[in-house]
Amino acid sequence: MKGFSLGKAFVPVVATIALVYLLLPIAHVILFSFNDSGRNNILWRGFTLDNWQNPCGAPQVCTAFGNSILVGVVATVIATVLGTMIALALVRYRFKFRSTVSLLLFTPMATPEVVLGAGLAAQFLLAGVEKGLGTIILAHTMFCISYVVVAVKARVASLNPAIEEAGRDLYAGPGQVFWRITLPMLMPGIIGAALLSFALSFDDFIITNFNSGTATTFPKFIYVSALKGVPAQANVLASIVFVGALLLVIIVQMVNINKQKRLARR
C-alpha cells in the first residue's frame, strides 16, 4: 500500500495495546460497581444504581476504607515533615556519615516488601507492641520517608541560592527566609512527595498484612474478599478514588497551563 510504513504503524499499535491492557482492569472495576451482584460479584447479573446509592452496604467495606484514609493521611504528614527536614539537611549541610545516611535512606526502597514487612513484624513482636492501626502507621511512615527524601532532595538541589541570599541581604532573618522564600519554592516538590506517599500508603498490602493484626485496611479487605468476588460497594469506592485522582490531575494541569499562558503574555 502506498504511503504505508510498518515502522510508523508499529509504535501507535503497541502504544494502543499497552493502553488498553492498562485500562482494562480499571474499566472492569467501574463496570462491576454497577453490577446487581447479590452474594458475589464475579459474574455480571444486571445493571443497578443501588451500589452507588449505598456504598457502605457491604460489611466492613467503609470501615476498611476509612482506616486506609486515616493511615494514609497520618503517615503522609509525618513522612513529609521528617523527609523534608532530612532532605534539607542532606543537601544544605555537611556532617559526619552524611553519605552513609543518604545511602541508608534508599534501603527501604530497594528491600522487597515481604522482607521489610516480616522484619518490622518481628521487631514489633520482640518489643511487645500490639499490632493495629498504630503499627501500620509506623510501618507506612518508615517506607514513605525514603520517597519523600528523594523527591524533595531533588527540588532542594535545584534551588537558586542567590534568591535566599537576596532575602538575607534585605535583612530577613533565617526564619523569614525559610518561611517566605525557601518553603514556597520547595512546595511543588513537597506536594508531589506527599501525594506519592499517600498513594503508596493507601495502596500497600504486603507490609500492612504483616503488621496490621486485627485491623483491616481497604487493600486487605479486597484481598480477603477476592475469593468470593470483590463486593460491588468496594468497586464503587475504588471508582470514586480513581475519578477523584483523575480530576485532581486534570485540575493541576489546567492550572499549570493557565499559569504558563499568563507568563507568556507578560
In the chain the domains, ranked by start, together with CATH numbers, are: 1-58+231-266 (no CATH), 59-228 (1.10.3720.10)
Q: Residues 167, 181: contact at Cβ < 8 Å?
A: yes
Please list the ranges in the chain whose pLDDT falls under 70. 1-7, 39, 266
Tell me which H or E stretch contains 9: helix 6-32
What is the rounded CA–CA span in Å between residue 197 and residue 189?
12
How high is the pLDDT of residue 85?
93
How high is the pLDDT of residue 45?
84
What is the rounded CA–CA span in Å between residue 259 and residue 156?
22
Give whole-number Cα distances, 118 to 158, 173, 211, in Å: 37, 47, 8
How high is the pLDDT of residue 182?
85
What is the rounded CA–CA span in Å between residue 187 and residue 122?
37
How high is the pLDDT of residue 74?
97
C-alpha cell at 237: 469506592
How high is the pLDDT of residue 5?
65
How high is the pLDDT of residue 245?
87
pTM: 0.84
How high is the pLDDT of residue 6?
65
Quote the crossing angle between the two packed helices 183-203 and 218-225, to the nearest 10°: 20
How high is the pLDDT of residue 178?
85
How high is the pLDDT of residue 258?
86
Q: Residues 62, 236: contact at Cβ < 8 Å?
A: no
C-alpha cell at 120: 518490622
How high is the pLDDT of residue 82?
94
Rg (CA), the chain: 23
C-alpha cell at 154: 531533588
Residue type, 184: P
Listed in sequence order, the residues at least 6 apart from 233 whose beta carbon sits closer than 8 Å to its beta carbon are: 51, 54, 55, 56, 57, 58, 61
